[in-house]
C-alpha cells in the first residue's frame, strides 16, 4: 500500500472499512414497449474509501447511465446502490436532496456547463454548497478560495461568470465545486474529454493531487489513456455490461476481454508508459515556458 492510499484510508470517518459505493446487479431500462432499451445489465462495482476507479467504455455503452443511476437521477429496474453503507435504491426526491445537501456524494456532469449555474459567479458557485450546510460566509469564502487554489486557478477568477471562463477553467471550477464540501465520493463524467491535451494533463494531475484528501473518485471516460495513469482500478463497460474490472496495470498489461484488448491495442503507448510520460513532460515544459 502506498503512503498516499494509507493516508486516504485513514482520512475518512469511522466505519471506513466498507466501500463508499457498492453497486450490485444494476439494471437500467429506457423507454417502453418495443422501444424499451436495456442500457445497463447486471452491473456490480464497489469503490473503497479514497480509491479512484476508472469506468471505460465506448459511446453508448452506459457510462453516463451508470452515473445517473448511482445518483438517483434515473430509476433502476433491478439491483441496489449503497452509498457509504446506506441503501439509496428506494430513496425519494426528498431523501436524495438531504443526501446531496450533506455533500456525501457529488457529480461533475459530462457537459461542464451543466455542472455550473450560468448566473452564479465562481465565488457563489463554490460557496453555495457550503452555505447550504450552514457554514458561515467568511469560512465558506476562505474554503472556496483554498479550493480554487487547489485546482490551480487564480483568485482573480472569483468574480467571473461561467461564460467568462475558458473550457479548461470552467471544468476546474466544476471540479472545485464538487470537492469543496469534502465529499466521500465524486463521480466525474468525462471530466477531460472536452479539453485540449495540455488542459487534459493538468486536470488529471489535479485529480491525482485531490486524492490525498481521502475522497473516492469514479472517473468516467471513453479514453483508456486518459484514466490509466490516474485510476487505481479500471472497470470496462461494454454494451451495458461490466466485462472486466481490475487493477489498472493488470487491465492494461493483461486485458482479458476482447474489447479491453482492442482498447489497449489502440493505445500502444500504454504498455510501457514511456511515450506517455515523455509526452507529458513535453507538455509540462510547454506549460511552464
Ligand atoms: N434518456 C434516454 N432515453 C432513452 N435512451 C437513452 C437515454 N439516455 C441514454 N439512452 C441510451 O442508453 C444507452 C447508454 O447511454 P449513455 O448516455 O449511458 O452512454 P455513454 O456510455 O455515457 O455514452 P457517451 O460516451 O456517448 O457519453 C445509449 O444507447 C443511449 O442511446
Ligand atoms: Mg456519457
Name the pLDDT band for 284 (thresholds 50, 70, 90).
Answer: very low
* Whole-angstrom distance, CA of residue 125 vs CA of residue 248: 34
Q: DSSP assignment, residue 76? A: -
d(CA 218, CA 189): 8
How much is the average pLDDT of 86-108?
Answer: 88
Ligand 1: which of 29, 30, 34 to mutate, judged by most atoms within 8 Å of the beta carbon?
A: 30
Q: How far is the CA of 62 from the centre of ligand 1 (A)?
A: 6
pLDDT of residue 225: 85
d(CA 2, ligand 1 centre) in Å: 36
Looking at the CA of 62, name the nearest ligand: 1
pLDDT value at residue 272: 47
Quick check: 32 pLDDT over 90? no
115 in Cβ contact with 187 (< 8 Å): no
Q: Give me the pLDDT at residue 10, please.
A: 42
Residue 222 beta carbon below 6 angstroms from any ligand 1 atom: yes
Arithmetic mean of pLDDT, 48-68:
95
In this predicted structure, the answer to whether residue 201 has a pLDDT above a threshold of 80 is yes
Which of 3-7, 35-39, 47-51, 200-204 holds the top average pLDDT?
47-51
> Does the C-beta of 57 come closer than 6 Å to ligand 1?
yes
Residue-level pLDDT at 269: 65
Among 67-71, 79-83, 191-195, which stretch is predicted with the lowest mean pLDDT? 191-195
More confident residue, 138 or 150: 138
| pLDDT above 50: residue 12 | no
% of the chain surpassing 70 pLDDT: 87
- Testing ligand 1's pocket by substitution, the residue of 29, 65, 76, 226 carrying the most ligand atoms inside 8 A of its CB is 65
User: What is the rounded CA–CA span in Å between residue 234 and residue 247?
Assistant: 6
For residue 258, name the pLDDT band (cuts at 50, 70, 90): confident
Comparison of pLDDT for 202 and 30, the residue scoring more: 30
For residue 115 and ligand 1, the question of a CB distance below 6 A is answered with no
Rounded distance from Cα 285 to ligand 2 centre (Å): 32
Amino acid at each position: 500500500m502506498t503512503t498516499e492510499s494509507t493516508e486516504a484510508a485513514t482520512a475518512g470517518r469511522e466505519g471506513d472499512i466498507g466501500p463508499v459505493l457498492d453497486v450490485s446487479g444494476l439494471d437500467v431500462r429506457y423507454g417502453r414497449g418495443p422501444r424499451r432499451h436495456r442500457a445497463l445489465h447486471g452491473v456490480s462495482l464497489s469503490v473503497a474509501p479514497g480509491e479512484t476507479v476508472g469506468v471505460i467504455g465506448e459511446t453508448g455503452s452506459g457510462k453516463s447511465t451508470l452515473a445517473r443511476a448511482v445518483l438517483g437521477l434515473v430509476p433502476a429496474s433491478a439491483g441496489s446502490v449503497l452509498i457509504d453503507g446506506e441503501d439509496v435504491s428506494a430513496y425519494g426526491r426528498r431523501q436524495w436532496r438531504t443526501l446531496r445537501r450533506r455533500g456525501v456524494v457529488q457529480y461533475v456532469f459530462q457537459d461542464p456547463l451543466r455542472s455550473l449555474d450560468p448566473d452564479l459567479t465562481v465565488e457563489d458557485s463554490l460557496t453555495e454548497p457550503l452555505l447550504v450546510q450552514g457554514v458561515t460566509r467568511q469560512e465558506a469564502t476562505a474554503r472556496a478560495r483554498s479550493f480554487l487554489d487547489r485546482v490551480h486557478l487564480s483568485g482573480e477568477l472569483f468574480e467571473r461568470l461561467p461564460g467568462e471562463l475558458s473550457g479548461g477553467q470552467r471544468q476546474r471550477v466544476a471540479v472545485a465545486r464538487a470537492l469543496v464540501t469534502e465529499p466521500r465520493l465524486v463521480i466525474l463524467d468525462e471530466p477531460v474529454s472536452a479539453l485540449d491535451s495540455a488542459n487534459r494533463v493538468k486536470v488529471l494531475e489535479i485529480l491525482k493531487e485531490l486524492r490525498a484528501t481521502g475522497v473516492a473518485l469514479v472517473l468516467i471516460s471513453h479514453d483508456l489513456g486518459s484514466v490509466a495513469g490516474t485510476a487505481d482500478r479500471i472497470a470496462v463497460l461494454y454494451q451495458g455490461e461490466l466485462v472486466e474490472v481490475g487493477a489498472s496495470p493488470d487491465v492494461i498489461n493483461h486485458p482479458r476481454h476482447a474489447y479491453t484488448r482492442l482498447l489497449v491495442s489502440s493505445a500502444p503507448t500504454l504498455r510501457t508508459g514511456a511515450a506517455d510520460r515523455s509526452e507529458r513532460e513535453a507538455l509540462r515544459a510547454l506549460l511552464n515556458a
